[in-house]
A and B are shown apart, each in its own frame.
Chain A
Amino acid sequence: MTARRAALAVAVVLAAFTGVLVIGLLGREDDTAAMAPSPLDGELAPALVGPTIDGSTYDLDRDRGAWVIVNFFATWCPPCVREHPELVEFAERHGDGDRRVLSVVFGGPGEAAATRTFFDRNGGDWPVLLDDGGRAAVDYGVTKVPESILVAPSGVVVGKIRGGVTADGLDALIDALLAGVGS
């Protein structure tokens, strides 16, 4: 009887351990995109002005009137590398139209050269803002790349996407927001 009870206790402990393990594995983070709440939602997007990797100066205000995907990324981040072709697709699909991409380099000083090489190899001709000092990342509350903040034509932040984006997903999101405004 005692042996049976001991076996039952071991089985219960093993079952609990397995359950915790399964729940942990199911809940593991991946790099797929997910909309996340942001303290910036509904607020005017913080200023983004500064040097780009090609030596020019970018100002987010100049893109007022267009949807802007503010994409924080790093060349050393595998999910960022995986999402890059989707951003290229999105940018080529819309050109200089009303849907644009801005990349912000995340990860401290010294990233300019690596980022230039990355864009030369992988394509993409949208502005790439340097963020030495991490001011922009703090302004936008970026904790982990890739993270994309969607700024409406009015200049207001309407959403934050954690993880990699897709061209179709971005278009669907903007279309849904437009439909919501129109309805």
Chain B
Amino acid sequence: MSRRVLGALWVVALGAIAVALSVGMIADGGPRTDEQRARDLAEEFACPQCAGQSVAESTTPAAVNVRQEIARLVDAGATDAEVRARITDRFGNEVLLAPPSQGVVSLVWVVPVAVGVVSVAALGFVLWRWRDPLADGDPDAADEDLVASFLAERAEATGES
């Protein structure tokens, strides 16, 4: 398989992965019930009373209170943003399991992506620099002359005709 075909296959494979990831992130799987919405929102908040659990998982009184408040707000028709605002207004942004995507805090999202892109680019550049120059392209006339003279020398040395 030629180098070009192999490169094209890599591009196609990476493109397919990117498309699949994008579709997976964007697709919402249809409309959610209020109960599902409340559950999803509860998973966004850290239990204010304990470490390592979300409000959705924890059975501590503080988490139960927040869960009930989320359910009340969802029942009352509040949007996701309004629910988040209400909870962070009372408990602070530290209860958000995912940092906000605005302001200075958004750097926690941007920096890893930037580092990833730069790393892949740097790796690609290094691999390109390391490639075998002899492996590039078909042999030219000088290469063929060199091989022919080498074979002739060897034949002479071994007495082969």
Contact = CB atoms under 8 A, between A and B. Distances in A.
Given A134-B68, A135-B69, A138-B69, A143 B62 contact: yes
Given A133-B68, A134-B68, A134-B69, A139 B61 contact: no
Size class of the contact patch on chain A: 10 to 19
Interface in B24-66: 48-49, 61-62, 64-66
A144 B62 contact: yes
A124 to B, nearest CB: 21
Interface string A125-143: 0000000011101111111
Contact of B64 (A39, A40, A134, A141): A134
A74 interface: yes
Given A39-B92, A141-B90, A143-B48, A106 B61 contact: yes
A70 to B, nearest CB: 14
A107 interface: yes
* Residue with the highest number of chain A CB atoms closer than 10 Å, among B49, B61, B62, B90: B61
B89 interface: yes
* Residue with the highest number of chain A CB atoms closer than 10 Å, among B66, B87, B90, B92: B90
Contact of B91 (A74, A133, A134, A143): A143
Interface of B: 48-49, 61-62, 64-66, 68-69, 72, 87, 89-92
